[in-house]
A and B are shown apart, each in its own frame.
Chain A
Amino acid sequence: MSVSLYRTMQLIRSSEEQLARCHARGLVHGACHTYVGQEAIATGVCAHLNGDDAIFSTHRGHGHALAKGMPPGELFAELFGRETGCSRGRGGSMHLFSPEIGMMGTSGIVGPSILQAAGAGYSFSLRKTEQVAVAFFGDGATNNGAFHEGLNMAAIWKLPVLFVCENNQFATEVPFSDAAGNPDVASRAAAYGLPGLQLDGNDVVAISQAAQEAVARARSGAGPTLLECKTYRTRPHSEGMGDYTYRTREDVAAWRERCPIKRLRATLLAAGEATEAELDAIDAEIQTHVSQVSAAAEQAPWPSPGAATTHVYSPVRSVVEPGVSATRELSFAAATLEALDQEMAANPNIFVFGEGIGIRGGNFGTTVGLYAKYGAQRLRDTPIAERGFVGMACGAAMTGARPVIDFMFIDFINDAFGELVNQIAKMQYMSSGRLKMPVLLRGCIGIGHAAATHHSGSYHSIYSHIPGLRVVIPSTPYDAKGLFLHALRSDDPVLFLEPRELMAVKGPVPTEAYEIEFGKARILREGSQITVVGIALMAQRALAAAGQLATEGISVEVIDPRTVSPLDTATILKSVRKTGRLLIVDEAFAPCSLGAEIAAQIADQGFDFLDAPIRRINGAFAPTPYSPTLEAAVIPALDQIVAGIRRLAHE
C-alpha cells in the first residue's frame, strides 16, 4: 500500500518536473501550474476512491488527475495542445477533463470545485449510488463565498463529500495570513456543523488515514468532512513566473527539505517495506516512462481547426409540436407545472432547488402539489445562496442528475453569473461533449406591479450572448408547456424565462406531454405590410396593437421568437421578405440587445428586402423604478407600439 503511494507521488513529481522542462522549451503554450511539493495530498486522498467516485479540482490539478488515474500521456498531450490530450486540446493546464475516470475537471476560477463536488454529492445521494465526491481547493478558496455556501449546504443535507483544502499558504502571491481573519481553516468547519481536521499536508500516511475515515463517513451517509492539509508549493505559482517577491529563497529551500516524497521514502526504508534498490528502481522506471510519454505527446496530432466550435451544445433533438388545437384552458404557470409533474413522474433524476418550492409550492405556484408526490429530496428548499446552488446544480448535472432551479425572480440569477457563464455554459464544450449539462434555470421576468428594480429585470440579451446556454421566453401557456418539457429533456443548460405579467393568463393547452423544439418562432398573426417581432409580454402587446391597426387598414405580421438562443431568424427573414419592414419590441434595454442582434442579422441577410430602416422599441435604459407613474414610463406602452408600427408602416 505505502509503496503504491510512493509510486503515485513520484509519478506526479516526475511528470511535473518534465512539464516544467517542456514549458521552458515552449511546448506548453499557456499556463503551467505545477503541483510540486503537494503530491501527498492528491495521492493520500485518491488512494481511497473508487473509479466512479468523482473529484473536482483547481487550476493546480495535474496531480489530482494523475492520482485519479489519468495516463500521464494524456496530461502531456493536453498541455501540448494535442488531439490526444485529456480535453482534446481545449483546456490546457487549467481545464483538465476525464470524466471516464472520475476526473470531473479542473477550473481556472477559484471556488467552483467546492460547489460542484457538493452538487455531485447531491446527485449521488438522490440516486443512491454510494459514490463519493471530493473537492480539492486551495487556501484562497476558503475566503470565497463558494466555500461558505458549499460547506453549509453539504452539511445540511449530509452529502457524501470530502472538502480537501490544500493550504499551501499563498493564494497566487498573497499570503494566507494576510487574507484570513481566521487562518485556521479546519476550525471553520464548526461554523457549518461538519468535522474539520488539520493535517500535515506533506505526510501522505496521515492524509491517507484521515481520507480513509472521511470517505467511509461519506459513504455511510453521515455527511461531509473538511480536511485542511498544510503544505507548500516549491515551484512558482506558474512556470516562468518570478517567485521571490512575496516569499524568500530560504523559505522555499526549507520546504524543499520537507519534501513529502523524501519523507515517505524514509518511512518505507525505516519500516522495511522497501529497499533503496527497489525504490531507486521505481524512480528510474517512472522517469523512463515519463520521458517516453512526453516524447510521444510531442509527436501527437494537432486537433482539427474544424472541431473548434463542436460540442458547444448537445445534438439537437427534433420534435413535432402538436399545434394549438386543445380546448382545455390553463394558465401559463399551471401549464409549466403540468409539464414538470409529467416529467418528474417519468424521470427520477429530476430534482428542484429553490426557496419555498417544497411544501409551499413556490411563490408563483410553480411546484404546487409536487412535494407531496415526490418528497423533500426532489423538491429541495434551499438557503438563499444562489451562487451556491447553481454551482451545485452544475456538479449534479455532471454526475447524472437533472436539476431544475426555481429562482422565483430571475434577477437573483445574477448572483450566480460566474457559475452559470464560466462553468455550466462551458462544461459540454470543455469536456468535448463527454459531460452533459441538463440544468433548467427558471424565473419570472418583466416590469409590472411595482416590483421595482430587483424583481423586474429582463436579462435574455445578456445570457443569449453566451455560447452553451439556451434562452427560452414563451408568451402563451401552450408554448410554455411544450418548451418547458423540451427543456426538461434537453441535455443543454436552459434559462426558462417567464413573463410575470403573463403567468396568470389562460390559454388552450393540450393535456398530454408534448414538446416544442427550440429555435422555432411562432407567427402569432399574419400580415402583409409590416413585421413586428415581440419578446415576452411585448409579443402579446404587439398582437393587441396589430388588432387595433387592422381597423386602420394596416396589416401587421406579429412574430414571437419563443426562444432567443437559438433565435429563429429564418422565420423573421421570411416575413420581412414579404413585408419589407421590421419593428422589434422588447421591454429590455436597447444597447447590445436581442433587438440589436435581430436588426443586425436581418440587415445582413435581408438588406434587399427592406423598404425602410429597421426600428426598435425598447424599455428605457434605466433600472426599474417603483412608483406606478415612473414604472409606466420605462416600459413600452400599447399606444406607443401602435404609433411606432403606424409610423414605420408609412415610412
Chain B
Amino acid sequence: MPIDITVPRLGWSMEEGTFAGWLVPSGSPVTVGQPIYSLESDKVTMDVEALDAGTLHIPDDAPVAGATVVVGQLLGHLLQGNEASPRARATALALGIDIATVTPREGATRIIEADVLKVVRPAAKLMEEAFRAPHFYLHADADATALASLRNALLPLLPKRVSYNDILIKAVAVALKQHPRLNAHWVDNAIVQRTQIHIGLAVDADDRLLVPVIRNADQKSIADIAADRAALVERCRQKKATREDLADGSVTLTNLGTFGVDRFQAILNPPQSAILAIGRIAQRPVVVDGQVVARLTVPISLSVDHRVADGLAAARFLQAIVELVEAPLRLALIQ
C-alpha cells in the first residue's frame, strides 16, 4: 500500500499553513530523512523530511505551491516497492527493466503492465515504427588491419577485455561529433537535434534483444567504454537493466560478425536516425596497386532515416567512421 504524505503540525498551535512546493519531482526515489517539500506556518518555513522511503507520487489534485493547506491534508504518496501489479513486475522482469524506475500513469497509484511498456515500447511496435521510417543504406568495407593491431596491443594493457565493438563505438562516437547532423531524432514529425553522444549497442540477453547505451561515448576512453559495456551487458543478462541503462541512445551499433554474418542491413531503432550494422572481420580479396591481395576487412552498413539526413551527410559520416577504423590510433589517444 502507498504511504500517505500529510501536512504535519509545526509547533503547538498550527491548524493550517502554506504549501511552498515540492523539493523532489514526482516519480523520484525518496529516502528516510530526505527533505521532500517546504511548508510555511505563521512562524517558520520548514523543509519537511520524509518519514518513510518510497517513490514519490504527486497526484493531479495535490496542492500547488502557495496553496493553503490544513493539518492532516493529503499532499501525496510514497509508493512502496510492491506497488506494481504482479503482471507489471513479470513484464518488467522479462524486458530487463528495473521496476523501481517505472512510475504509474497519471491518477493511479499502482504500476500496471502498460506503465512498464511505456518505458520500453514493445519490440513489435518499435519495429512497425522503424519500418515506417524512410530508410536508405550505405555500405563500405574498411581495412581492419590496424584495428586488429590496436586491439591486440590494448588487450594486455587494460583490465577489461577490449572487444572490437568497444573500439567501433568510440569510432562512431567521434565521427558523430564531427557530423552532428546524424545526432538527431525524429520525434512527432520533427527533427530534434541532440548535443550529447550516447551510443547504443544491440545485445542478445537470453533471447531478448536489448540496446544498452554507452553514455557520452565521445568523451570516454576505450578502456572506460569497455568497462561500461561489460557492466551493461551483465545487467541486461541478469535482467537488472535500468531505464537509464536503456534510454536515450543517439545511434545504435549492431554486430552480427561473431555469428558468421558477412554483411547485413539493420532497421532503425526509433526515434534514432542512424544505425550501423557491422559484419564479420575477415580476410577478403582486395585490389591494392593493381594486385588482388588478401586483407583483413570489416564490412560496415549505415541505415539512415531520410527525413533527418540526406545521402551526402550520411556518406560523410560513414567516410569518417571508415577513416577512424582504418587509422584507429587516434581513437586510443582521444580521451
Contacts and interface: CB of A to CB of B under 8 A. Distances in A.
Interface of A: 580, 607-612, 651
Contact of B89 (A580, A608, A612): A608
Nearest to A580: B87
B113 interface: yes
Contacts of B86: 607-611
B113 A611 contact: yes
Contacts of A610: 85-87
B112 A612 contact: yes
Interface string B78-116: 000000011111100000000000000000001011100
Contacts of B112: 580, 611-612
Contacts of B110: 612, 651
9 contacts: A580-B85, A580-B112, A609-B86, A609-B90, A611-B88, A611-B112, A611-B113, A612-B110, A612-B112
Contacts of A611: 85-88, 112-114
Contacts of B89: 608
Given A580-B112, A608-B89, 15 more contacts: A580-B85, A580-B113, A607-B86, A608-B87, A608-B90, A609-B87, A610-B86, A611-B86, A611-B87, A611-B88, A611-B113, A611-B114, A612-B85, A612-B110, A612-B112
A607 B82 CA distance: 14
Contacts of A612: 85, 110, 112
Nearest to A577: B87
A608 B90 CA distance: 6
A582 to B, nearest CB: 11
Nearest to B93: A608
Q: Among B86, B90, B110, which residue has the most Cβ atoms of chain A within 10 A?
A: B86
Q: Among B87, B89, B90, B110, which residue has the most Cβ atoms of chain A within 10 A?
A: B87
A608 B89 CA distance: 7
A651 B110 CA distance: 8
Contacts of A608: 86-87, 89-90
Contacts of B113: 580, 611
A580 B87 CA distance: 7
A605 to B, nearest CB: 12
Q: Among B85, B88, B112, which residue has the most Cβ atoms of chain A within 10 A?
A: B85
Contacts of A580: 85, 87, 112-113
A651 B108 CA distance: 8
A148 to B, nearest CB: 57
A609 B88 CA distance: 8
A156 B98 CA distance: 77
A349 B89 CA distance: 57
Nearest to A579: B87
A651 B109 CA distance: 9
Q: Among A580, A610, A611, A612, which residue has the most Cβ atoms of chain B within 10 A?
A: A611
A378 B135 CA distance: 79
Nearest to A650: B108
A286 B160 CA distance: 91
B229 to A, nearest CB: 31
Contacts of A609: 86-87, 90
Nearest to B113: A611
A142 to B, nearest CB: 59
B250 to A, nearest CB: 34
A469 B89 CA distance: 39
Contacts of B87: 580, 608-611
Nearest to A603: B86
B149 to A, nearest CB: 50
Closest 8 CB pairs of A and B: A608-B90, A611-B112, A611-B85, A611-B87, A607-B86, A610-B86, A580-B87, A608-B86
A378 B87 CA distance: 55
A651 to B, nearest CB: 8
A551 B114 CA distance: 22
Contacts of A607: 86
A608 B87 CA distance: 4
A522 B167 CA distance: 59
Contacts of A651: 110
Nearest to B85: A611
B101 to A, nearest CB: 18
Nearest to A576: B87
A611 B87 CA distance: 5
Interface string B107-129: 00010111000000000000000
Nearest to A651: B110
Contacts of B90: 608-609
A607 B85 CA distance: 9
Nearest to B111: A611
Nearest to A612: B85
Interface string B150-166: 00000000000000000
Nearest to B91: A608
